[in-house]
Structure 1
Amino acid sequence: MDYPPGVQNALVIGNTDGIGLALTRRLLAGGWVVTGVSRRPAVLDHEGYAHLTADVTAADFGAALEGVGDVDLCVYAAGVGEMLDLADLGAQTRAIEVNLVGAARAVEVVVPRMVAAGRGHFIGLSSLSDVMVSPEAPGYAASKAGLSAYLLSLSAAVRPHGVAVSTIRFGFVDTKMAKGAVKPMMITVERAVDVVLGCVRTRAVVVSFPRRMAAAAMVLRPLLRVQARLRKS
């Protein structure tokens, strides 16, 4: 696997399972030095790996990242999403805190350093649900819509400084996040990591995968908005 020259130090946030863990392993196998961040202790033992235990929803999460050294690549892979329970809307709030606010806190620390260095790449793992109206998981959809919009706008601001910010919009990936009875076009975790590493190479602003599902989401978006209005009437 070929990587951009000079990129050696990666920070992977949310890496004790799923895409984050698989990505960490692939980066280490490719010779990267990786710092992982998660609420749980490290599950990896590798000479090129260090682990930081921190909660992305904590007010001091940004401060916890201050001790991390040079970061050429930061991938925000932390994410949660629960189906709607009107008796427990706190779960929807938590989705927004983890998926959006946590990412913003990471950006707040990492991106200014990249701008000062004149190089670096920040990748946020978003979702094709960022264009959907989702009565089943409104917090998740809202958090991903916010994440995609924030990173897309930030990308335009930092590109002139030599820094790339990318948004990867996945459909269903075979992880604990894939909930619901129907999961069309679901991909494996390793295929998702292939997509992430492809983005590392190309530094694309937006990657939507699978492409057919991304097209379907755009077609379904107005229909779901109409359905949501009809539910209110």
Structure 2
Amino acid sequence: MTDRVRRAVLVGNSDGIGLAFTRRLLADGWRVAGLSRRDNVINVPTYTHHTVDVTAPDYPEVLAKAIDELGGVDLCVFAAGVGEPIDLADLPAQTHTFEVNLMGAVRTVATVVPRMIDAGEGHFLGISSLADRMVSSGSPGYAGSKAGLSSYLLGLSRPLRDRGVSVTTVRFGFVDTKMAKGPVRPLMISVDRAVEILVRCVRTRPVLVSRPRRMALLTSALATFTRPR
């Protein structure tokens, strides 16, 4: 086992799960570079922050610079995400959801993963949602973008495994953050619980994790009945 400091890039860590997981990695001795559209409150020597939106034209260049400053990347976590209820008078908002949740992840992979392949090792972890199984008339952009994200990451996992790179897709249900909207949020878990799940994923590198399990079973059953007929 090498004694060198592990290096992580966290995309989407101004608040919520991304911020909490950044703090946990730092506490565990990682060097971390964070990228988000807003600054955060972390101020320690082992952390650097880059304020950039994943939809910005220069995002890949900023991400590449962050990795170069770290001296490489062992772990990349894509935690950026948005989602708004549909408003037929503002369909571009649904377009923006795809640009952040799906294309933001695809652009991140395109910058980070080739470096991991060259190094012969690495771990890409993407935070998706149990909504990826649902056809949502209320938030079609969110559900659709998460479906695309899960499918893309799961598809990448096999060819990259042979190159020493692991890909993990984490499908969460409701987590107690600002993203948990709506009057009914069944089986919602805390941010601390979500972080513990991610810590275990970093240690064991599974291909797919769906939590909470009961919510995963429920959404799978509901998906059968919510598809248009």
Give the shorter-chain TM-score range. Answer: over 0.9
Distance 1:111 1:7 in 2: 20
Letter aligned with residue 215 of structure 1? L
Give the conservation status (yes or no) of the 8 Å contact 1:127–1:170: yes
Identity of matched residues, % = 60
Question: Please, which runs of 5 or more residues in structure 2 have no aligned partner?
Answer: none
Letter in 1 for 2:155: S
Residue of structure 1 aligned with 2:110, choices 96, 108, 111: 108
Supply the distance in 1 between the matched residues of 2:192 and 2:97 (Cα, whole angstroms).
24
Letter of the structure 1 residue corresponding to residue 8 of structure 2: A
Q: Retained in 1: the 8 A contact 2:101–2:145?
A: yes
C-alpha separation in 1, matches of 2:219 and 2:5: 34
Distance in 2, Cα, partners of 1:9 & 1:27: 9
Q: How does 1:75-86 map to 2 (within 5 A)?
A: 75-86=77-88
Aligned residues: 225
CA contact (8 A) 2:130 2:210 kept: yes
Deviation string 1:133-162 (CA, Å, 9 cap, x unpaired) is: 000100000100000000000011100011
Counterpart in the other structure of 1:183: 185
Residue 89 (structure 2) aligns with = 87
The 5 A counterparts of 1:1-233 are 8-67=6-65, 68-69=67-68, 70-225=72-227, 228-229=228-229
User: C-alpha deviations, 1:27-72, integer Å up to 9, x for none?
Assistant: 0101100000011123210111001111101122112212122110
Q: Distance in 1 between matches of 2:81 and 2:174?
A: 13
Determine if contact 1:4/1:201 at 8 Å carries over to the other structure: no
Given that residues 5 and 29 in structure 2 are in contact (C-alpha distance below 8 angstroms), is that contact kept between their aligned partners in structure 1? no
Task: Give the letter for the 2:37 counterpart.
Answer: R
Write the letter of the residue equivalent to 1:154. Answer: L
In 1, Cα distance between equivalents of 2:23 and 2:29: 10
DSSP-derived class of the 1:175 partner:
coil
Runs of 4+ off more than 2 Å: 3-7
Superposition RMSD in Å: 1.5
Mapped to 2, the partners of 1:47 and 1:63 lie a distance apart of 23
Shift of 1:5: 7.5
Partners of 1:12 and 1:56 in 2: how far apart?
12
Further displaced range: 8-17 or 54-63: 54-63
